[in-house]
Structure 1
């Protein structure tokens, strides 16, 4: 197993233990409603899920429309310039 896989498994196990340890209900104050009894398990789980989704969306690479290779192709012709080698030189190289 790779180190990345082992790290993901360990973090998942620790989060699961943490969530199962915090399953009692507490009163939360939302924007328009006061003192709503909600399980800490649900609140923490939803926050972790939102954090993973946001981290994935922000962390993925963007698509680029221009790259260094495209710039080189635009600035330099694709045709090879005629060689200044003599026939003897070409025979020697091949």
Structure 2
């Protein structure tokens, strides 16, 4: 197995153990203001899932060339061809 796979399995196991240890109910105050007893397991689990999703979105590769950049490159290449004289075009080709 690769080191990356072993690392992912180890982190997942540690997170699972951590979640199972912290399963007692705790009162949380949400926006409405009334304390609601919720298991720490649920709250920590939701936070971990949100963290993984945000990490995935932040770490994914971005597009390297946008359509705007492609249009600029096309415009610049057409301008450079039109500024050449006939003699220069003959010399290049």
For residues 5-84 of structure 1, the aligned pairs below 5 Å read 5-65=5-65, 74=77
Q: Which runs of 5+ in 1 are unaligned?
A: 83-94
TM-score normalized with structure 2 length: 0.70
Q: SS in structure 2 opposite 1:57?
A: helix
TM-score, length basis structure 1: 0.69
Structure 2 residues without counterparts, runs of 5 or longer = 82-91
Alpha-carbon RMSD across the aligned residues, in angstroms, is: 2.1
Q: Which runs of 4+ in 1 moved over 3 A?
A: none
Looking at CA atoms only, which structure, 1 or 2, has the larger radius of gyration?
Answer: 1
CA distance in 2, matches of 1:40, 1:33: 18
Q: What is the number of residues matched between the two proteins?
A: 74
User: Could you tell me how far 1:49 is from its partner in structure 2?
Assistant: 0.1
Which structure shows the bigger proportion of residues in helix conformation? Answer: 2
